[in-house]
Each structure stands twice: as C-alpha cells, then as structure tokens.
Amino acid sequence: MYIINKDSNKLVKIEKRTFKSLGLDERHNLQEWIAKEPSSLGEELLIIQKEFDGFADTRERLDLLAIDKNGNLVIIENKLDDSGRDVTWQAIKYASYCSGLSKGDVIEIYQRYLNDQNLHESTADNLSDFFDNRDLKDVDINVGNGQRIFFVAANFRKEVTSSVMWLLNSGLKMKCFKVTPYEYGGKVLLDFDQIIPVKDAEDYTISIAKKTQDENKSGEEKQARFSVRQEFWGEFIEYNKSTNALFSINAPTTDNWIGRAVKGSNGMNCNVIVNYDNCRAEIYINTGDRDKNKRIFDYLFKNKDAIELQFGEQLTWQRLDNKITSRIRIDRDWSYTDVDQRQQVIEFLTSSANKLMEIFTPYSIKYNHCCPEKLLP
C-alpha cells in the first residue's frame, strides 16, 4: 500500500505489519473493530451477539453473530495472523448449530446482547430500523439453511481456501476477508480485502439458492396481513382527503408505513407507521450521512421545549448514536387491526403528522438557511 506525496509527486510505501508486532489481539481488537463497524465486511450487517455460546450440550462459542438484510444469520470467525487449519470445520459446526434457532430465539439473543452492552435500546425498534421500517411480523429471520459464514484473517492457509472454494461450489454461502494492518506516521491503518469469492466476480461465482421453507401457511398469513393493511391505508388516505390533511395524495400500500418529505429539508421525512400492537408518527432524519443526521437532531433538540409546547405533549427523542439515522416520535399502543380502534388510529396519526409537519418545517428551513454545519461542533 502506498500514499501519494503531492509535494514531491511520488508514492510513499506504507509499512506492512502483523497484529502480533503491533501488540493487538483477536478478542479485544479485531473482534471489537468489526462489532463496532460491521460494514467493514462490505455490506450492512447487524451484530446481535459476541462470543455466542448458546448451543445445547457444547461449550463451543463463535466470535460474532450477525444478521444480514435478508434475515440470514452470519457467523463471523476472526483469526489474527493465521487462519489455522480447522477454522472451516469449526465454522460449519457453528452454522449447523445456528440453523436450529427460531425467529424468537434470534430476537432473544439480540436482546441479551443489548443488555450485556448496556445499550438501553428497543430490540423491536432496532430490528425494524435495520429492515427498513418493516413490521417484524413480515420479516423472515433464519429461515431454512440460509446461514452464511465469514472468515477474517491476515493470512489463509491453502487447506482453508481450498475447502471454502469447494463448499462455495456446493451451495454454502461463505466469504474470506484478508485483513492487513499497516503503520504510517504513528497511525495504524487496516485494509479489508474480500478474496473469496473475488468481489467483482461474486455474482457469477455464487449461485444463491432459494431457502426451503413452508411457504403455504406463511404466504397465506402474509397475504391476509397485507390485505388488511392496504385496506387500512385506503381508509386513512380517504380521511386525509376529506380533511385536507397531509397524506391526501398518497396511495394505499401493503407496507407498514407511508411518508412525506418535510418541506425545505434534504433528508427529513414525516412518517406514519402502523404495527400490530402500536402506531406512531415521527420525524425521520436520514440524509445518508451519519454526522450530518446527528447535527440536525442536535439542532432540533436545542429547541425541544418550544417544540413540545407547540405540539402539546412530550415527544420521544431518539438520537440513536449507534445508527446512521435519528428520529423524533409520538406513539400510541393502538392496533390498526382492531376494528374498534381503527378510527382512533386514523385520527391520531393524521393529527400528529399534520402537527409534526407544521412545527418542524420552519426549523428545517431555518437550519438550511443558517448553515449550522459551520456553527455546530
């Protein structure tokens, strides 16, 4: 690896190091780095447990357990300067153990992880956020044999790469990441390189098999839920039309949320969300830039008292430091599927969304005009 010296117009070689020479170890360093920044492995992952050992009749433990955007469990095995000979067999055992975990088991494992990390966050909210605001009842988690295995090491032995390539061709979902530390100017740099399958050829070298599952009952239940939800949004939008409210121009959907952009903003939405046991209206902040989202949230939070006074009640302010997005929300424990509560849900969401849009629009416009990016730390 090289850096460019613009003054001399030359390449300057950066010294390649080993983890051992830098005094770094697998558990306290490499594992923690990946747990805190799982996107270093090239995709969006949600870490749900570290050093997981919840397997019956065995004391074995895997390094990191994650979930991908398709609801598949991802077993992540980390080795420092050498992969060792037995890492493939070890990971396959872990994957087989994990294949028996139900959706409820996975959610419970993630809740324990949040508790262990002293993260006072909602498991349901975090998972819903990760799955793009989908209702958890609509998300398939760890269905069939869709488990994936990621290996991370500075060097891979031939017996490991050979067996991984053979297993890939047999339909197992595996990846190998070569991780290399460098040192320059007193700083340590880390390079993640996906070596198997080769990144640019991944779509051609992996045949993603369809997960086997009992789809009849699940499909019927989903269709029924989607039908009820679409019916609800139809009634909600008709009510908005009759009252000249915010969502009068939206179309019914089978999703559990609909939204409108906040005027004058770039990345702020006013959303309404319905789940089976609750509903909410929210200001959702997502410019695509984590730091900018937090600056916008902090700017709004400085005006919390004035905003809540204008709204008429307290709001829930979620900066969500461990996530890219932030939100400000108002909730009710009412279900849109309950016929007796449906009108109540419609009126609450309509009124709350209208007020949120009215209150936050001037702040959004003022934020953009005042360029607080330069003013806020």
For 294-341, how does the pLDDT look when each residue is reduced to its tens digit (9 = 90+)? 999 999 999 999 999 999 999 999 999 989 999 999 999 999 999 899
- Over range 345-364, report the average pLDDT: 96
- Tell me the H-state helices in the chain: 31-36, 87-98, 103-116, 123-130, 158-169, 202-205, 215-242, 290-301, 304-311, 342-370
**Domain hosting residue 82, numbered range:** 2-205
Q: Give the pairing type, strands 187-196 and 173-184.
A: antiparallel
In a domain, 6, yes or no: yes
- HSE at residue 253, side-chain half, CA atoms within 13 A, is 13
Residue 111, number of CB atoms within 10 A of its CB = 16
Question: Is 262 among the domain residues?
Answer: yes
Number of domains forming the structure of the chain: 2
| Same domain, yes or no: 195 and 233 | no
For residue 339, the tally of other CB atoms under 10 A from its CB is 8
Indicate whether 279 and 338 sit together in one domain. Answer: yes
The answer as to whether 230 is a domain residue is yes
Same domain assignment for residues 199 and 52: yes
Name the domain boundary from 205, 227, 253: 205
Same-domain pairing of 224 and 289: yes
Tens digits of residue pLDDT in 68-85: 999 999 999 988 766 667
Same structural domain for residues 195 and 331?
no
Tokens of 148: 């994936």
**Tell me, what's the pLDDT at 207?**
40
Q: Are residues 244 and 359 in the same domain?
A: yes
Percent of the chain whose predicted confidence (pLDDT) is above 90: 57
Task: Give a yes or no: residue 210 inside a domain.
Answer: no
pTM of this structure: 0.64
In this structure, the answer to whether residues 130 and 171 fall within a common structural domain is yes
Q: Can you give the pLDDT at residue 109?
A: 94
Instruction: Please say which residue of 144, 173, 205 terminates a domain.
Output: 205
